[in-house]
Amino acid sequence: MSPTPRDRASYVPELQPLLGATGRLELVDGDTSGTLGAGYRFHRSDGHTPRLLMTEADTDRGPVLFASDLVPGRPWLHVPITKGYDRFPELVVQEKSALLRHVVDTDAWVAFPHDPEVSMALIGLDQRGRYVTTSTVG
């Protein structure tokens, strides 16, 4: 709703009023949605951009988490790897670590928005304790 000067170039200011005019825009304050129901949960990050929202949805194949720009593809599963446009890289490392632990603990699929070869994957830990894909969908 009010991007920082650094983030402003990534936002279309007319978009929120247009969405609001449809009556379908829900401002979420918490980790659930009153509109979507119990099968949807939200995770937040402030390290990439303030108030980044990632959606987790229950499906018949298990939960699917849209990891957005916190974990945009397989290379970013390595926790210390951050992106040059992350606002607070150390916070990204903490948030990504907690999110990936949640994904492993709940057997959730992770949807990658910027991976050219894999759209989503199950995540596990290798012998060294690093996060790796265990099953993928192209």
pLDDT tens per residue, range 51-98: 899 999 999 999 999 999 999 999 999 999 999 889 999 999 999 999
Mean pLDDT of 127-131: 97
Higher pLDDT, 129 or 50: 129
Residue 30 per-residue DSSP state? S
Check pLDDT > 80 for residue 111. Answer: yes
pTM: 0.88
pLDDT on residue 51: 85
| Tokens read off for 68 | 């957005």
- Name all domains of the chain by residue range, CATH numbers in brackets: 27-137 (3.60.15.10)
pLDDT tens per residue, range 24-41: 888 888 898 888 889 999
pLDDT on residue 4: 77
Q: Which residue in 100, 102, 80 sits closest to 91, CA to CA?
A: 80
Contact 104, 131 (CB under 8 A): yes
pLDDT on residue 108: 98
Mean pLDDT of 42-49: 93
